[in-house]
Amino acid sequence: MSLIIETANYEVLMHKYNLTLLLGLGLIVLLLLALFVTVWLLRRSRKSKSTASNSKLTSSLRDEKLKSSIIINAIDDGVVLIDDQRTIQLFNPGAANIVGWKAEDAVGLNWQAIFKFVNEKGEPVNSAEDPVETLFQTKKSVRDNSANLLMKSGNIIAVSLVISPILDNDQRVTGAVSVFRDVSEERQAEQQRGEFISTASHEMRTPVAAIEGYLELSLNDKVSTVDSRARNYLEKAHTSTQHLGKLFQDLLTSAKVEDGRLTSHPDVVEFGAFLEQLTEELRFAAEKKGLAVEFTFGTPQTIDATHTAEKLIRPLYYTYADPDRVREAITNLFDNAVKYTDKGKITLGLVGNEQVVQFYVRDTGPGIPAEDIPHLFQKFYRVDSSATRTIGGTGLGLFICRKIVELYGGRIWVESVLGQGSTFYINLPRLNTLRAEELKAKATKNTTLPQINSLAESP
Ligand code: ADP
């Protein structure tokens, strides 16, 4: 009996054990299944995501390309891409309209086959003035608002262009993009405006000069008798007429400077003697205002303490420029120094090295605000500060100075400290003594003197 019971218990036990085992196995299978399904779902979602993003990227790239070509084709300005061999790789319809070449003919050609830069007379510009060559040499963008292109038809058009370099990681120029436009109409209008200003100022200068002359006569005791009140009025009228005369003269000069009609007769000038003499001529106007005037040669450091000034051998600082034009520029700077300085002194100085002759006009005036300095040499620019606003002027003087200095391959700039004064510098290329003597000999023999450009290589 007890055996039967034990056997029955044993079976129940075995049954329970089998059930637990089965349940455990089922659970494991279920877990594995869930894991597999999760992994599969994850993979599927990742795959679908990457397929979607891939197709998005492809279509966005396609869109970008399309957009760029739509933009380039729609631009009215000419857009040209050239490679490092100067071969045209892209030529938009704007470029085709301006230069009269079809894109399919232009692409693959050398840039110079289409873009023939010429001067106003139609002569080809030398390679130093070719904007593309300049870009490949300097690796910098080139901007030119005064370029001229010779067309297939033989016509010359005025263009304004910007060429920007394409640089690789090693900063090598691998190509360039040029954007240009036809500005013939604008340039013609500018020329007419210049001609009008020049004619008008010339015509008005003549009667103003006559009025000034008569006012001078009426103020001259030897020819006229005026009472003190009338003299006071006449003196004021005389000063205003002088200002008006200066304004017309400046307008005339700036118009001439801009259209290249400013006459220039360059000659060999020894700046030491030239500046010393000019200082003596200008001294009077400054001293009348109570300002001291000084001419310095070299910098104080260059003077050896054991030598007196008389023992110093002054180097000869030769340049090749029109002395009248240079006188005009220096006089302008000196007049400004007198005009804007209330007390102190004005120094004219001369220094130089093998390549450059540098002279400067230094004053102890109000100085110029830093934000005005970059604009100072632009036409009609005047500083709007309380120190200078009340003083009359045209804003043309420094513009004319810059143009004159550029005419002889020079540079002009200013350094200034507010409340302490300003120094205007002019650098001109220096001629060595041998070359200067050669040129002087040529001039006495009356042979044609060289152009400024051809002197550049021989300082
Ligand atoms: P302007 O006829 O007005 O003097 P300029 O072109 O000669 O014209 O000078 C431009 C401006 O630069 C002037 O209006 C003046 O504000 C400033 N300027 C020129 N020279 C000096 C100077 N030596 N000191 C202070 N300001 C100056």
Q: Spell out where 35-169 has E strands.
A: 78-83, 88-91, 116-118, 142-150, 156-167
Predicted pLDDT at 5: 47
Q: What is the 3-state secondary structure (H, E, C) of 388-413?
A: HHCCCCCCCHHHHHHHHHHHCCCEEE
Pocket test for ligand 1, best of 328, 346, 363, 382 (most atoms within 8 A of CB): 382
Predicted pLDDT at 307: 47
Pocket test for ligand 1, best of 383, 402, 413, 416 (most atoms within 8 A of CB): 383
* Sequential DSSP letters for 188-207: HHHHHHHHHHHHHHHHHHHH
Q: Which helix (H) or strand (E) holds 52?
A: helix 2-74
**Exposed/middle/buried for 270, CB within 10 Å: 0-12, 13-18, 19+?**
middle
Are residues 175 and 83 in contact, defined by beta-carbon separation less than 8 angstroms? yes
Kindly state if the Cβ of 366 falls inside 6 Å of ligand 1. Answer: yes
Report the relative pairing of strands 356-362 and 411-417 from DSSP bridges. unpaired
Q: Which atom of ligand 1 is nearest to the CA of 396?
A: 6
Q: Which residues of the chain have pLDDT under 50?
A: 1-5, 7, 300-307, 309, 454, 456-459
Distance 392 CA to ligand 1 centre (A): 10
Predicted pLDDT at 13: 52
Kindly state if the Cβ of 414 falls inside 6 Å of ligand 1. Answer: no
> What's the topology of domain 267-299+313-437?
Heat Shock Protein 90 (3.30.565)
Give me the residues paired with residue 362 across strands: 347, 423
Rounded to an integer, what distance in angstroms lies between the CA atom of residue 142 and that of residue 144?
7
Kindly state if the Cβ of 395 falls inside 6 Å of ligand 1. Answer: yes
Report the relative pairing of strands 156-167 and 173-182 from DSSP bridges. antiparallel
Kindly state if the Cβ of 363 falls inside 6 Å of ligand 1. Answer: yes
**What is the CATH code of the structural domain delimited by 75-182?**
3.30.450.20
Are residues 88 and 107 in contact, defined by beta-carbon separation less than 8 angstroms? yes
SS3 (DSSP) at 134: helix
pLDDT tens digit string along 156-182?
Answer: 999 999 999 999 988 899 999 999 999
CA 61 from centre of chain? 37
Are residues 404 and 250 in contact, defined by beta-carbon separation less than 8 angstroms? no
Distance 383 CA to ligand 1 centre (A): 7
CA 305 from centre of chain? 43
